[in-house]
Structure 1
């Protein structure tokens, strides 16, 4: 029977695999990720060509099952996709581009959502660097000739969890966490843009994936004063419900639930598509003990302000800030929180989280908690710390006197007195003097 062994070895060489699907995820600044779903791990060779610009993959012993005409190229630098035979058994996959791009390729092993994948990352040729897809001016405080110090806004980094290849938790009705949290994050960005003394930085601006370390890196590069990561996770029991706020733990999770959620969120890189040989980068993933020790108090206070506001619109899972080892919060030396807006695995909360009005209410709660904290405890070099005895607030649609009082951290009676109000009725465009609390 020994003569069978060479035949078995020869047969295994010629077993073909399939490329079952191709997905394209356009990112910021022209960056794009192309993902090939494979039936098994395959060897490949990649190179680029010019006139026209192309990236070519020769995939050993494979065949293309996906109709490439059905792949959505919208918003990407890809002009066309095509495939054909190369040699006797190999597959040639050609990505024709509108202009030259740098590229890299790497395989990803199976996980709970996907099987084997081959990733092609396209990067626009170097251009002037813009942090986080947003040009943000962050001047250092300088002395003017009058001796007055120029101050800056509080920079709030808003991180919408998951994205692209990683849908996050999926609730009843196929409600995806990545879409819910991006909607909340964009509404929070809009509110902060309109608020004097604050500048928002949206870490993920569309449906693409960013590595957990890259999210923190973008916040650091922009000089963020506060980092908030927004999520809507799932639990193994659909009866679980309620919002939560977490900070990074220095000694382990504060509850079984916190540990479970942190473990799930920390798997995001393997799903979203981060090159795994970099996953143990010691410098990037190591907790900066001294910095976090100095910032734990601020994180607890900030989280408590946000929880107080969330409790006005949603059930809270815990009424105090919890702790867990969330990877996305590591390496940050500023207050950093992860907000679970609810359990998308709970049918009732999934319906609420998918509702645009509820998303706005959740964003407003986070906004109010954040701005109220920084107005009460403004950093020394911020405009908020140099605020005059009073300032003007212009009433917007949906405002009530009590809402404004809570948001600004002043008493309703102080607002009435400062503006000589005979009633609590307001009109859009009305100017209110906000006294210092």
Structure 2
């Protein structure tokens, strides 16, 4: 009997141990992507962890405590030029793992978790924003973060768009601006979206070129051209190597009161000889599904669409107003796409000689004309080499700019004073 009891006890102990081990979180790696004003830390974990984040002074550091976790991989170290961190280290404290990032500047932060997708497993993400130089008078007390209960599904859900775009390095546009000509009016605002970014590299060329890198370079060159044009202003959706949720990209454009949204990409195909540029607008099917989403969501229904509120209208009338707004937006999108496509004819072959339509999510703003430009096929060795050339990046940016300028010369918004178009 005693032997049986001892065997039962050992079996129970093994079962208990296995359950404890099964609940432990493995921290496999830590990576980060940064721009001058933002940084994203992505921690690869075996399961969604309980965690706490705090800022500690003297010395200034960001502390991440992950419950019931252990480090199984290596933590990437920041380069000496990193804008926020000087070093990152980890230590085991009983069952908890502590990750510490020594700070160079004051930061704001937010954390959320991401569920597995085709490329990655579970992730704990910490987004940091620059709050300015460190001050000797900073309080030494810890400031705990309020953990965000976000998931990928919630992050992509429709939200109110009357948010400050300063989170992404942009700012809402004033109602009136004074142009260099001295006449009253506002600038034409063009939102430029460099596709992919951060943990999403996009397509890869045969030589290893990442789409996210070359399209950001093109987007920055395009922004510089637009900002050099009197009466026009560019807003970059992302300014560095970090990922922006697809709906968030739309929100940034709307918060900046953009007159046009341009998403820049580099195409890929399994056959290496396929080449050429393409320009896309939203398909009618994509517009219909987005209209249903806006009308079904109580928060979106309270937003402005083409200057008309929908929350106080009957459902049928709201549907008609939204349809009118979308129809005008799709027509404007088609017109600007034709101008850009025509401009591309002068710098090389086109993959499609007419404007294409697709249901890309970033094109679904119901009141902002939106186009997506596939600048070339990164899967084509010749076009990959060109995409890596700063001169050819400028050529692509100039082609897009000339198409945009030509469009706004023909269709100038009534409340703007655009000089020298």
Report the TM-score when normalising by structure 1: 0.71
**Does 1:369 pair with 2:403?**
yes
Distance 1:184 1:139, change over 3 A: same
Question: 1:169 and 1:284 mapped to 2: Cα distance?
Answer: 33
**Does 1:250 pair with 2:284?**
yes
**Does the aligned pair in 1 maintain the 2:107–2:132 contact within 8 Å?**
no
Once the two structures are superposed, what CA deviation does each residue of 1:253-278 show, in whole Å capped at 9, x if it has no partner?
Answer: 9xxxxxxxxxxxxxxxxxxxxxxxxx
Q: How does 1:203-352 map to 2 (within 5 A)?
A: 203-252=237-286, 289-352=323-386
Q: What residue is the counterpart of 2:44 in the other structure?
A: 37
**Does the aligned pair in 2 maintain the 1:14–1:61 contact within 8 Å?**
no
**Does the aligned pair in 1 maintain the 2:191–2:236 contact within 8 Å?**
yes
**Does 1:106 pair with 2:101?**
no
Question: 1:308 and 1:155 mapped to 2: Cα distance?
Answer: 22
Number of residues paired by the alignment?
352
**Does the aligned pair in 2 maintain the 1:163–1:209 contact within 8 Å?**
yes
Gaps of 5+ in 1: 143-147, 254-279, 392-407, 409-437
Question: 2:413 and 2:70 mapped to 1: Cα distance?
Answer: 59
**Does 1:75 pair with 2:111?**
no
**Does the aligned pair in 2 maintain the 1:59–1:91 contact within 8 Å?**
yes
Once the two structures are superposed, what CA deviation does each residue of 1:151-178 show, in whole Å capped at 9, x if it has no partner?
Answer: 2222111111111221111111111111
Distance 1:305 1:131, change over 3 A: farther
Question: 1:237 and 1:62 mapped to 2: Cα distance?
Answer: 44
**Does the aligned pair in 2 maintain the 1:57–1:93 contact within 8 Å?**
yes
Question: 1:235 and 1:363 mapped to 2: Cα distance?
Answer: 23
Once the two structures are superposed, what CA deviation does each residue of 1:371-415 show, in whole Å capped at 9, x if it has no partner?
Answer: 01111221222223xx6xxx6xxxxxxxxxxxxxxxx6xxxxxxx
Gaps of 5+ in 2: 134-163, 288-295, 306-321
**Does the aligned pair in 2 maintain the 1:23–1:71 contact within 8 Å?**
no
Match of 1:10 among 17, 38, 41: 17
Shift of 1:67: 5.0
Compare 202-211 and 232-241 and name the one that shifted more. Answer: 232-241
Question: 1:383 and 1:106 mapped to 2: Cα distance?
Answer: 43
**Does 1:183 pair with 2:191?**
no
**Does the aligned pair in 2 maintain the 1:109–1:115 contact within 8 Å?**
yes
Question: 1:190 and 1:99 mapped to 2: Cα distance?
Answer: 28
**Does the aligned pair in 2 maintain the 1:141–1:149 contact within 8 Å?**
no
Question: 1:329 and 1:14 mapped to 2: Cα distance?
Answer: 46
Three-state SS of the structure 2 residue aligned to 1:224 is coil
Shift of 1:9: 5.0
Once the two structures are superposed, what CA deviation does each residue of 1:337-373 show, in whole Å capped at 9, x if it has no partner?
Answer: 1111122122222222222221111111101111011
Report the TM-score when normalising by structure 2: 0.73
Q: What residue is the counterpart of 1:24 in the other structure?
A: 32
**Does the aligned pair in 2 maintain the 1:81–1:96 contact within 8 Å?**
yes
Distance 1:221 1:316, change over 3 A: same
Give the aligned CA root-mean-square deviation in angstroms.
Answer: 3.4
Question: 1:209 and 1:66 mapped to 2: Cα distance?
Answer: 22
